[in-house]
Amino acid sequence: MRRLIGAGAATVLATALLTAGAMSYADEPGDPGATDPLGIATAAADALVAQRGDELKLTAEDTVAQTGVTRALGLNYVSYSRSHAGIPVVGGDFVVITDDTGKILYTQVSQGEAIDVTTTPEVSAAKAAKTVTSLVDAPQGTPQLVVLAWTDPALAWESIVETTEDGAPSLTHVFVDALTGREITRYDEILAGTGKTYYNGQGTDVTVGTTSDGGGFTMADPERSGVSCAEEGGSPLTDDDDAWGDGTGTDLVTACVDAMYAAATEWDMLKAWLDRDGFTGDGEGFPMYVGMDDVNAYWDGSSTTFGHSQDGERQLTPIDIVAHEIGHGIFQYSPGGSGGGNETGGINEGTGDIFGALTEWYSAQANDEAHDPGDYTVGEEGGLLNPGEPIRYMYDPSQAGDPNCWTEEIPGTEVHAAAGPINHWFYLLAEGTAAAGDGKPGSTTCNDSTLTGIGIEKAGQVWMGALNGKTSGWTYTDARTAALNFAATSPLFATCAEYDATKAAFDAVTVPAESDPACGK
């Protein structure tokens, strides 16, 4: 479960998300005569697949399917899923990145080696299901045979188990070795008009998108497809006069006003700063629900749900909490989805915090008690712990007991704590080490370096560029490589200054390099 706080196993993405809507390369290769950038990019990427380049780790038994193509931040991204001998490969996805001429700039490949496994299970699906039941005693679907390739490739049975955690829904993917019958790994798919606002100018009016149905109004944004708000388990709110809420912290209609305002702000930030069309990247958003009787908020793979503060005096819909949960959706709806281990889960949690900070700073609210100004703390307005107390500090994660620096312990660290290094990296990239006024207290580094930031907008572009090339099972080293590849090749950056700053920030939080790309601008 992708929750804002609390412990949990990590990560996300059903195999179905890796293959949904896939196009077989063999059936429909890119048009070599295409003249538009996306057509040119697709043709170039398909040609690389046809050549079975070594960097893609393809074998004679592998087939691929194109899962998406997008253009953002000056580059084109063509993503693929993989099957081996007709069996879906979880962790076999890859992304080919090109410029507008079709020149292949770099590739990001999830799996570390070519697949060489038997495709005949020695453990039956029924026996695998019994193993899963012994581990998680809850309803499960029929096990599906897959090749799991996030680490050493293995033939496995994947079962999806429906359960609850602290009153919220959970979909746990359990992988059982198809040769030995032992569990390999598991991950959780669900990640924990005008209206009176509580968080964005307390008691004053803000504008939110609503839809007129002829006899009244519905809290569904007509300009941001899919964005709506309802009480938990219900349909989008309705109103006779399009004037919503009373501006108090416990009112659920006011909570929806704040959620809609935050979602619209994040949507606009994505377009203006990060060249992304909506939360999914293709112009779609997600529904939101308020009124959950729990001190938490979560993303369930298709929507967000928000509870209440520790003292029950306010709903958890300030900008950074709403943007954090939607950030999990952005992570999931980037190439590679959200599947992986605790390290992937930690990067996912950090991504939520990064989008929370980006949205707060884009909103540019007044620095007073009635508003939610930009900062690099998480959840302080919502009172998840105590009123005014953050649950995470991006500039110094250790203030919440989380690691500031990457170590070999991170892959086994609880996902919210494992977000520490990526949060710290983002702050250092955006703001550097020196204090710079309200919301920017300065920071130390893990290698005693002194850094100058490039600004939050450019830092957000670097991270979005990395996400556009993301693969499943992402590690910190993978994220470092993806971010540096983007900074080295994107036409947004005329020189290597942003690349150098990105590299220095990763070094400053001791994220190891596999082989850093070069920047030749």
- The 3-class secondary structure across 423-482, one letter per residue, is HHHHHHHHHECCCCCCCCCCCCCCCCCCCECCCHHHHHHHHHHHHHCCCCCCCHHHHHHH
- Predicted pLDDT of residue 461: 99
**Domain final residue pick, 160, 187, 214:** 187
Rounded to whole angstroms, what are the CA distances from 118 to 61, 95, 107, 150? 12, 26, 27, 17
**Domain final residue pick, 134, 162, 187:** 187
- Predicted pLDDT of residue 172: 82
The whole-number mean pLDDT for each consecutive block of 10 residues of the chain, a chain of 521 residues, reads 44 27 36 77 95 90 95 96 96 96 96 93 91 79 92 92 70 90 83 69 85 86 95 94 92 96 97 98 97 93 94 94 97 94 94 98 88 91 86 97 97 93 99 94 97 98 98 96 98 98 99 95 93
Catalytic residue of the set 189, 325, 349, 431: 325
- Predicted pLDDT of residue 54: 86
- Using alpha carbons, select from 115, 73, 113, 70 the residue that is nearest to residue 95: 70
Q: For the chain, first and last CA: distance in Å?
A: 42
Residue 139, domain CATH: 3.10.450.40
- Predicted pLDDT of residue 5: 52
- Predicted pLDDT of residue 16: 27
- Asked if residues 21 and 67 have their Cβ atoms less than 8 Å apart, the reply is yes
Phi (first) and psi of residue 397, to 5 degrees: -55, -25
- Predicted pLDDT of residue 398: 98
Residue 143 belongs to some domain of the structure: yes
Catalytic residue of the set 308, 324, 328, 416: 416
**Domain final residue pick, 163, 187, 211:** 187
Residue 277 belongs to some domain of the structure: no
Tallying the residues shown for the chain, one arrives at 521
Residue 476 belongs to some domain of the structure: yes
- Predicted pLDDT of residue 6: 45
Residue 204 belongs to some domain of the structure: no
325 has catalytic annotation: yes
Domain that holds residue 394: 343-508
Residue 359 belongs to some domain of the structure: yes
pTM of the predicted protein model: 0.88
Residue 248 belongs to some domain of the structure: no
- Asked if residues 227 and 263 have their Cβ atoms less than 8 Å apart, the reply is yes
Residue 316 belongs to some domain of the structure: no
Residue 407 belongs to some domain of the structure: yes
- Predicted pLDDT of residue 32: 55
Domains in the chain: how many in total? 2
Residue 69, SS3? Answer: strand
Residue 484, domain CATH: 1.10.390.10
